[in-house]
Amino acid sequence: MVDGADTAWVLVCAALVLFMAPGLALFYGGMVRSKHVLAMMAQVFGAAAVVSVLWVLLGHSLAFGPDLHGVVGSLRLAGMAHPDDPVPGFDLHVPSTAFAAFQMMFAVITAALLAGAGADRMRFGSFLVLVGLWVLLVYAPLAHWVFSPNGWLAARGVLDFAGGTVVETNSGASALALALVLGARRGWPREQMAPHSLPLTLVGAGILWFGWLGFNAGSALAVGGLASQALLSTHLAACAGLLGWLLVEKLQTDHPTTLGAASGAVAGLVAITPAAGFVNSLGALAIGFAGGVVSVLAVEQKVRFGYDDSLDVVGVHGVAGVVGTLAVGVFATHTVNAGIAHRGLLDGGGVHLLLLQLLAVVVTIAWAFPVTWLVARGVGRVMPLRVPPEGELEGLDMHSHAESAYDIGGRRVAGRMGA
Amino acid sequence: MKLVTAVLKPHMLEPVKEALEAFGVRGLTISEVSGHGRQRGHTEVYRGAEYTVDFLPKVRLEVLVDAPEADDVVAAIVSAARTGKIGDGKVWVMPVDAVVRIRTGERDVEAL
């Protein structure tokens, strides 16, 4: 039975989640050097297009089609066939197409996150091929395992409200694999690679924050108390994450930075994502704060471990995603969501849920990392993954797109227009 | 004649310009430059990565004056540009052999 209010809410939330893509483009675009900003944004927009098309053709059916042994969906819904079929396993009061559109936007933003790991060196075409394969081979099965009630992890009682495993831990582990296959940017970490426009990054973070309210509160798939708590928790966690990151920076360097504020808010949002519909407001504050503090400490390890995850997808999304997914096992409570099979540690549920959440984290990493690594190596056998050295030096904007972002005083920073 | 060159903090350009106008200096040239003195640059922090920025933005001001006025012009610049903090800049004076006003062909003091 379709409910008008629920449908309106899910459709609005689908649009909010889509808005995260240009938000991410700005967030990432500001963090790269000026000669790479358009290429960065092109990859995010390109990923949105490729993933949306493939999601309709195959991805949605693999993730949410009729279940095959808890492992993957069948191809019955491929090409959005049978749009009037109910989504297997769910008791939805929204049209299946609204649900499909909402889930499509999740796949879009998750795939787009990978652009951050290959920033400043990955070829545009290779990136699009990679995210296309990745969304079908890595994302869709994971989404089935966790998001579909028929998936083998969900059936065991694993809780993931809006994607701590499928979106965050997955993108972090995949980003690490991609960064390792690609190799470091030329000159990293000796050369200075400071962000070229922190105002862009802050505007992008603000848009992400706004869209994230739809990402998490929309995951209730209905209007009402659960969506309300999820929205409130999401905002609180972002605030706590921002403060946590800045506190660490203040203690370490005496300078709370604007990039830290943006990063901390995102880390808080990441951490609350799996928990938004299971924890109360105080739990959300604790989870967001932990996400911010742990993430800032994690990104500082990048140079020590020697992998060039350019924009810290591993440190921010991967690590905070793990923090949030485990925190569900601590803070999940029946007072917020009576529908959950197991309660968290603090609600008297013992360690059972915590161990289930740990299993989900381990399975997600054990799937995402090697499969992404193989996909990247496979694509690399067919077409170069990286631009040639002179392309990196010249800037990807000019090299890959024959455009330049900025025209300062009539002098183009890079570009061929009019030449 | 002398060429007085000053390297200043960019935001001190306006008070220095006013001081020179009050002194009666009619022409001056400025350019945007970057560099550092003894204190070197500063450190910027991005997600835990610290970058040392050696070259800081400065303004270079050049003014041609009659030799007897040079010391007073230097004093006016120093007085207007001083904040007392690190990075206030430097002023130096060099001899000038000849000056020609291109429009009229006037030379030396007449050309100032």
Q: Do A257 and B48 touch (CB under 8 A)?
A: no
**Residue A130 φ then ψ, to 5°:** -60, -50
Whether the pLDDT of residue B43 is over 90: the answer is no
The yes-or-no verdict on residue A418 having pLDDT over 50 is no
Chain B residues with beta carbon closer than 8 angstroms to that of A409: none
Residue of B nearest to A316 (CA): B47
Q: pLDDT of A206-237, one tens digit each?
A: 999 999 999 999 999 999 999 999 999 999 99
Give the distance from residue A68's alpha carbon to the nearest chain B alpha carbon, in angstroms.
44
Which pLDDT belongs to residue A411? Answer: 59
Chain B residues near residue A257 by CB distance under 8 angstroms:
45-46
- The residue among B53 and A365 whose pLDDT is bigger is A365
Size of interface A-B (CB pairs under 8 A): 25
pLDDT at position A191 is 86
* Predicted model pTM: 0.88
pLDDT at residue A409 in the model: 64
Q: What is the pLDDT of residue A110?
A: 98
| pLDDT tens digits, A41-72 | 999 999 999 999 999 999 999 999 999 999 99
Residue of chain B minimizing CA distance to A194: B46
B52–chain A nearest CA distance, Å: 9
Nearest-angstrom CA–CA distance, A234 and A221 = 16
Query: What secondary structure, in 3-state letters, does chain A show?
Result: CCCHHHHHHHHHHHHHHHHHHHHHHHHHHHHCCHHHHHHHHHHHHHHHHHHHHHHHHHHHHHHHCCEECCCEECCCCHHHCCCCCCCCCCCCCCCHHHHHHHHHHHHHHHHHHHHHCCCCCECHHHHHHHHHHHHHHHHHHHHHHHCCCCCHHHHHCCCCCCCHHHHHHHHHHHHHHHHHHHCCCCCCCCCCCCCCCHHHHHHHHHHHHHHHHHHHHHHHCCCCHHHHHHHHHHHHHHHHHHHHHHHHHHHHHCCCCHHHHHHHHHHHHHHHCCCCCCCCHHHHHHHHHHHHHHHHHHHCCHHHHCCCCCCCHHHHHHHHHHHHHHHHHHHCCCCCCCCCCCCCHHHCCCCHHHHHHHHHHHHHHHHHHHHHHHHHHHHHHHCCCECCHHHHHHCHHHHHHCCCCCEECCEECCCCCCC
- When pLDDT is cut at 50, 70 and 90, the band that residue B9 belongs to is very high
Convert the pLDDT of each residue in A110-138 to its tens digit.
999 999 999 999 999 999 999 999 999 99
pLDDT of residue B45: 87
State percent of chain A over pLDDT 90: 95
What CATH number did the domain enclosing B67 receive? 3.30.70.120
What pLDDT, on a 0 to 100 scale, did the predictor assign at position A416?
46
Residues of chain B contacting residue A296, judged by C-beta atoms under 8 Å apart? 47-48
Q: d(Cα A283, Cα A229) in Å, to the nearest integer? A: 11
Could you tell me the two tokens for A218?
Answer: 């929309």
SS3 for B16? helix
How far apart are alpha carbons A126 and A137 in whole angstroms?
A: 16
Kindly report the average pLDDT of chain A as a whole number: 96
User: For residue A270, what pLDDT band results from cuts at 50, 70 and 90?
Assistant: very high
CA distance B88 to chain A (A): 24
CA distance A163 to A264: 18
Q: How far is A251 from chain B (nearest CA, A)?
A: 12
Residue A53 and residue A64: Cα distance in Å, rounded?
Answer: 16
Residue A417 is predicted with a pLDDT of 46
Closest to A164 (Cα-Cα) out of A365, A361, A367: A361
- The closest CB to that of B46, out of A252, A259, A303, belongs to A259
Instruction: Assign B101 to helix, strand or coil.
Output: coil
**A-interface mutation test, from B42, B47, B55, most A Cβ less than 10 A away:** B47
Structure tokens at A46: 């390109």
Q: What is the pLDDT of residue B40?
A: 82
pLDDT computed for residue A412 by the predictor: 62
Domain boundaries, chain A: 4-412
Q: Are the CB atoms for A305 and A180 separated by under 8 Å? A: no
Q: Which domain holds residue B22?
A: 2-111
- Domain tally, chain B: 1
Task: Give A299's contacts in chain B (Cβ within 8 Å).
Answer: 47-48
d(CA A324, CA A267): 10
Dist. CA A405–CA A119, nearest whole Å: 16
> pLDDT value at position A89?
95
Contacts of A194 in chain B (CB under 8 A): 44, 46, 51
B54, closest residue in chain A (CA to CA)? A192
Cβ pair A241, A268 in contact under 8 A: yes
Identify the closest residue of chain B to A196 by CA–CA distance. B46
Residues from chain B that touch A312, judged by Cβ atoms under 8 A, are 47
pLDDT tens across A381-403, in order?
Answer: 999 999 999 999 999 999 999 99
Do A189 and B46 lie within an 8 Å CB cutoff?
A: no
pLDDT at A415: 46
Residue A296 to residue B48, Cβ atoms within 8 A: yes
Residues of B at the A interface (Cβ-Cβ below 8 Å)?
44-51
Across the range A233-251, mean pLDDT stands at: 98
Residue range A4-412 forms a domain whose CATH class is mainly alpha
- Look at chain B and count its residues: 112
Q: Do B48 and A300 touch (CB under 8 A)?
A: yes
